[in-house]
């Protein structure tokens, strides 16, 4: 089978799972991963035949994709802020809007802590380590600690950090258990993309998210949708340094309510929109 026909065949195999554009994008990702050739390189050899090894791998990935498994889990990697990171079923797939949170944080640090070279940063709920590693790239002198309740996720994050020589301290820790807080120090910046999707929102979610991504990193109880933000605000009252700030990604449907959590805890909290004009982030500083 030629390069051209193989890519067309994979695109067709994804019909019904994804729209035409997304199916073509996924097919291109898989073809590049399998063959090591870019889109232009594949076009130049489009009439040449794939090797048997390439065809076998392509069929394996096609079978997995047809179950609805996200392409990032099929290939074992995802791109975030220019970084190629390992991901698996223990870690969320990094989203582009989370890159906006990283950029917002890095910009704020550059403006407010420009003369403090070794600022202390804590990430709560690190998953693949994408936020912390991206922040290390942008603020290489920062001292970064990252925590997660999942030991399996911490293993992935540790491996990713090693790939990019990012000296991040990872800890397996249940942040909602306040008895663990003494194990953590004082920080100039606290950043988090915590679980914020209520259980009753599951019916509106795509199957490739609901059936494959880790629920502990996604969902919170219907009666406590802001549980992590309350905990982060309380933690910041005793562990955020003077002049420091909290950066959190939020449920776009609960922007004002989430902002109020921080206001009620004596922060100045600013609600920020993402590129699609959705309420997506909050920056909170102590009053």
- Residue pLDDT, tens place only, 123-182: 999 999 999 999 999 999 999 999 999 999 999 999 999 999 999 999 999 999 999 999
Residue count of the chain, please give it.
287
Domain 89-286, CATH 3.40.920.10 — does that match?
Answer: no
The mean pLDDT of the chain is 95
Residue 283, classed as helix, strand or coil, is: strand
- Whether the pTM exceeds 0.75: the reply is yes
Per-residue b/e over 250-272, b at no fewer than 16 CB within 10 Å? bbbebbeebbebbeebebebeeb
Q: How far apart are CA 95 and CA 226, in angstroms?
A: 21
Q: How far apart are CA 90 and CA 127, in angstroms?
A: 8
Q: What is the pLDDT of residue 284?
A: 98
Summarised one tens digit per residue, pLDDT across range 214-260 is: 998 898 888 899 999 999 999 999 999 999 999 999 999 999 999 99
Q: What is the pLDDT of residue 208?
A: 77
pLDDT-derived band at 209 (thresholds 50, 70, 90) equals: confident
Q: What is the pLDDT of residue 96?
A: 92
**Could you tell me the two tokens for 183?**
């194990």
Q: How far apart are CA 150 and CA 72, in angstroms?
A: 20
pLDDT-derived band at 210 (thresholds 50, 70, 90) equals: confident
> Where along the chain do its domains lie?
3-67, 89-286
Indicate the range of 106-115, 119-128, 188-197 predicted with least confidence: 106-115
């Amino acid at each position: 089978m030629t390069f051209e026909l193989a890519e067309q065949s994979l695109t067709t195999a994804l019909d019904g799972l994804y729209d035409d554009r997304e199916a073509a994008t996924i097919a291109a990702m898989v073809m590049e991963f399998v063959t090591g050739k870019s889109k232009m390189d594949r076009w130049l050899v489009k009439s040449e035949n794939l090797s048997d090894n390439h065809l076998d791998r392509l069929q394996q990935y096609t079978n997995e994709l047809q179950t609805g498994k996200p392409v990032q889990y099929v290939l074992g990697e995802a791109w975030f802020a220019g970084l190629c990171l390992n991901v698996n079923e223990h870690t969320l797939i990094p989203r582009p809007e989370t890159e906006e949170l990283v950029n917002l944080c890095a910009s704020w640090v550059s403006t407010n802590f420009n003369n403090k070279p070794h600022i202390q940063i804590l990430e709560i709920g690190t998953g693949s380590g994408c936020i912390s590693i991206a922040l290390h790239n942008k603020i290489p002198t920062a001292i970064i600690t990252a925590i997660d309740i999942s030991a399996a996720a911490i293993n992935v994050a540790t491996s990713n950090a090693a790939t990019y020589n990012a000296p991040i301290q990872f800890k397996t820790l249940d942040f909602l258990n306040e008895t663990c807080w003494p194990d953590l120090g004082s920080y100039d910046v606290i950043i988090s993309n915590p679980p914020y999707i209520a259980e009753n929102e599951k019916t509106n979610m795509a199957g490739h998210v609901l059936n494959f991504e880790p629920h502990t990193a996604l969902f919170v109880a219907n009666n406590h949708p802001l549980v992590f933000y309350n905990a982060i605000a309380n933690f910041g009252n005793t562990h955020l340094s003077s002049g420091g700030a909290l950066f959190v990604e939020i449920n776009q449907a609960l922007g004002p309510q989430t902002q109020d959590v921080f206001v009620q805890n004596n922060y100045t909290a600013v609600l920020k929109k993402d590129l699609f004009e959705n309420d997506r982030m909050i920056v909170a500083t102590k009053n």
